[in-house]
Chains A and B, each alone.
Chain A
């Protein structure tokens, strides 16, 4: 970081990076300083720049209208991207969460540890979002997720195992108008994660995703939203939770508040402090939602438009990985719940 007249010898690569505006700012200053004293080099660099300008002058000519066939291909790709967004928007949500946490907690911690923490939360939430988007909209998948008595017991055992508390049942969200319509174990980084799916009277589906993380320590409800999807992440010890669905932040927070305490191991010390919501969106500025118990039969069905407004508040998410790299397709093959009975401790 310390500025020296020339921290390393000027290379050909420096010159091209300089021409293309891809040098780091410190190095750029160094290169400029050298160029100021070397007119011959300066001319060479200017020549390269002018080549770029010439290329634009040559090839930027307006294009004729797209041939119909090409137009049709673009339409088909767009549909694919639309679906891709739905499948993968979780990565955006996750990135949003990372931003929220950096903004909310950076003051208290060293930046590196916050980033590590944020990355882990982002990774977890993106897996949750992937699970939600892979299964929640697919009728056949939802049918396979149906929870009978046996499977319900197996999932409950897995849930107990994950949360370190026995016995534990799938959280009850009936008071908020959501009933459990499915559950499954999904692989997550070589371990099993639990995915419960809830639906309300209007057909809105919300996923609860529970898994173990390598990080330990409690994290309060952390909100992120994008494209009309909202997510809350929280963690007790090494057990992490994400609730995700096409809800407003307020409605989802009600659900998170209802779910959270139901999944806490016996010791009350581990309860999340729901009032301290680390969030980039103005959650606390809104009036408190009615207590869940006050409206037992009234399904909370936020208009999609309201959720979209929220999404607009979120900062543009960073790319989850290095640009241009093609990530592996999302993994979400369900593991048969019946096989994991023996995991109960």
Chain B
């Protein structure tokens, strides 16, 4: 039993790390953010014990940590915008299709963060729209409209240079 709890938690934390990487575009910032998120969960351990959807709860802690961090960055000022770091993402340039994937990464990073979050939670993490609305603490209709705008923006942008379909076929 303990093993499966352990496995679940490790899986959740791997997902948090992946999401945080995609969100911040930086390996270092991502793990910092995940640790901050886990620290928050540990700080409210009484609440954590009552949680039924551990994964969504941890993601909401991560989201809150991220929001607070962004506020602090803005207060301090003069820090390189996270949005500018898309190129850091791990993807060997030699890999076929890598440059097209980098286009996707860049397009993602150029999206407004609120749309990027929704695209990642739904498209990458497989969260339901309801879970996403709980994680981001916004109405489900807002999740819908961010998803819709984000996907359409990404599609338009990627459709311009080359059809994303052929690109992705080739990557596979």
Which chain A residues have a beta carbon within 8 Å of chain B's beta carbons? 12-13, 16-17, 20, 22, 43-44, 46-48, 50-61, 63-64, 66-67, 69-70, 73-74, 76-78, 80-85, 87-88, 227, 319-330
Contacts and interface: CB of A to CB of B under 8 A. Distances in A.
Interface in B131-169: 131, 134, 144, 147-148, 151, 154-155, 158-159, 164-165, 168
Contacts of A12: 144, 148
A63 B90 CA distance: 10
B73 interface: no
A228 to B, nearest CB: 9
Interface in B7-22: 9-10, 13-14, 17-19, 21-22
Q: Is the interface of B mostly helix, strand, loop or mixed?
A: helix
Contacts of B155: 44, 47-48, 51
A58 B154 contact: no
Given A78-B2, A324-B52, 11 more contacts: A43-B165, A47-B155, A59-B120, A61-B90, A74-B10, A76-B42, A77-B41, A81-B9, A81-B49, A88-B49, A329-B49
Q: Which 9 A-B pairs have the closest CB atoms?
A: A84-B49, A73-B38, A52-B123, A324-B53, A324-B56, A55-B124, A54-B104, A47-B155, A59-B22
A84 B51 CA distance: 9
9 contacts: A12-B144, A22-B128, A58-B89, A80-B42, A81-B9, A81-B48, A85-B5, A88-B49, A330-B50
A233 B92 CA distance: 60
B49 A58 contact: no
Given A55-B124, A324-B134, A326-B51, A227 B1 contact: yes
Given A13-B144, A81-B54, A73 B35 contact: yes
Given A22-B129, A55-B124, A67-B31, A61 B91 contact: yes
B13 A66 contact: yes
Nearest to A17: B129
Given A16-B148, A46-B165, A77-B41, A325 B13 contact: no
Contacts of B18: 59-60, 63
Band of interface residues on B? 35 or more
B165 A323 contact: no
Given A55-B119, A328-B50, A85 B22 contact: no
Contacts of B38: 70, 73-74, 77
Contacts of A60: 18
Given A59-B124, A77-B9, A70 B147 contact: no
Contact of B124 (A52, A326, A329): A52
Interface of B: 1-2, 5-6, 9-10, 13-14, 17-19, 21-22, 27, 31, 34-35, 38-39, 41-42, 45-54, 56-57, 89-91, 97, 101, 104-105, 108, 119-120, 122-124, 126, 128-131, 134, 144, 147-148, 151, 154-155, 158-159, 164-165, 168, 171-172
Contacts of B46: 329
Contacts of B49: 80-81, 83-84, 87-88, 329
A48 B151 contact: yes
Given A44-B155, A227-B1, A329 B47 contact: yes
A78 B38 CA distance: 11
Q: Which of A20, A58, A329 has the most CB of B within 10 A?
A: A58
Given A52-B123, A55-B123, A61-B91, A325 B165 contact: no
A47 B50 contact: no
B41 to A, nearest CB: 6
Given A74-B13, A324-B131, A56 B124 contact: yes
B151 A323 contact: no
A326 B50 contact: yes
Contacts of A22: 128-129
Contacts of B2: 78, 82
A87 B50 CA distance: 9
